[in-house]
Amino acid sequence: MTQPDNTSHKHNPEADLALIRSMMAAGRRRAGVDGAHLILWGFLLMATFFIQYASVVGYLPPIQSILWGVTIIIGWSGSMILGRKMERSPQESNPALTAYVSAWLAVGITMLLHFTTSLLTQNFDPRASTMLSTGVFGVAFFVMAQVLGLRPFLLVAAGWWLILAYVVQLTRYPVEMLLVMGVACGALILVPGLFLRRLNTTGQ
């Protein structure tokens, strides 16, 4: 009697590795579309911090509250428009994409609640706001680095956490921190967004 051929049922590590790689590649391609969200928010936040600095030091009228209100409205409106475009694009089940979107949605909700509550109660603390934002940005980029296989984003996360550690030890909050945050938003949000866009367009 011949023995049944169980070759097709054997565990194949190479096939498993190929499946994982294909899933991560799909995640990177889809996340490249969402690079537009990082480009939008990176540019908006960078410009807002620079304008706020100019307002605080007297180069512009005191418009901080109005400025952040406009930034939030433009940012969330733009994000919703980009989100609707992504919903109309072909979708595939992808845990990497789900983690990516969920991480940044959590960041957006956290910062929106913080800024809105702080402004409405007139209890805004720029030091606390900086610590919160740098902390959640670091977490979001750490998640992206892990689930999308983008190791350079670990450096981006480390950059945000270094700023957090620096702010924690400050005894006073200098106005120059607005410039630091403006540069950070450009280098650690806008540039990663451009990187994701390039990753998407080149198909890497």
Per the listing, tokens 């428009």 go with 81
Compute the distance between CA of residue 44 and CA of residue 182 in angstroms, rounded to an integer: 10
Query: Running DSSP on this structure, what letter comes out for residue 186?
Result: I
The pLDDT, as a whole number, for residue 7 is 47
Where in the sequence is the domain holding 112, given as residue range(s)? 21-202
Compute the distance between CA of residue 26 and CA of residue 42 in angstroms, rounded to an integer: 24
pTM: 0.80
| Structure confidence by residue, pLDDT tens digits, 54-105 | 999 999 998 877 898 899 899 989 988 887 766 655 555 567 677 777 888 8
Q: Is the pLDDT of residue 32 over 50?
A: no
Give which of 143, 95, 96, 137 is closest to 114, Cα–Cα. Answer: 137
Is residue 15 assigned to a domain? no
Is residue 160 assigned to a domain? yes
Is residue 193 assigned to a domain? yes
Is residue 3 assigned to a domain? no
Burial category of 70 from C-beta neighbours within 10 Å (exposed 0-12, middle 13-18, buried 19 and up):
middle
Number of domains in the chain: 1
The pLDDT, as a whole number, for residue 183 is 98
The pLDDT, as a whole number, for residue 204 is 46
Compute the distance between CA of residue 195 and CA of residue 185 in angstroms, rounded to an integer: 14
Mean pLDDT of all residues in the chain?
82
Is residue 8 assigned to a domain? no
